[in-house]
Structure 1
Amino acid sequence: MAQKRLDEFSHIETQISKEKKAEALPFTEEAIIKEKRKETFPPLAGENLPPSYFVSATYDGKTRKALINLYEPTSGKIYFWYDNTGHQPYCLTNLSP
């Protein structure tokens, strides 16, 4: 069996890489549609959200509303649901200080 030096292997690889030319991937209609479609963040839960799992609940100080995170297993996405019932925080009171 003939022995080769390491630099002989690297020389072959460089010749192969020089022969290959970079090719641009063609744009497909699907890729263009995905690029144009911008998803909002955070993804808000709509009125017709399928059955989802409760992930967490917190309070959003900017909007001054309760925020619930829901996991929808069919799409694999987490949706955010802001309280729309007008619920007040539990520490709110009408007692004078």
Structure 2
Amino acid sequence: MSNQVINPSTGMQEMVFSLNSEEDLHNALVEGDKYYRRQRIVPVKVLAQQLMAIAASFRENADNLAQTATNNMGKLISESYAEVEATAKIAEYY
């Protein structure tokens, strides 16, 4: 079984993703828990630096991210760019 990404503007299939197994889901949850336990002891200054790096990465990859959002959701490219910038600002805020 799989999930398809259909571009709502064109009706064309953009991608196909296979569904994860129960084992895949379990492994992802275990890894997420491990990550949480590591991150909760990281100093706030380091976390802030990570968030700034995330914001910078969103801006550096704005073209690709905006195009992907447009293809997946059918929104105008200008709206997609605004969403990328809003996400970068959220990372900076926190």
Structure number with the bigger relative contact order (C-alpha 8 A, sep ≥ 6) is 2
Same fold, judged at TM 0.5 (above): no
Report TM bin, short chain. under 0.3
Q: Give the TM-score normalised by structure 2.
A: 0.21
Q: Give the TM-score normalised by structure 1.
A: 0.20
Rg larger in structure: 1
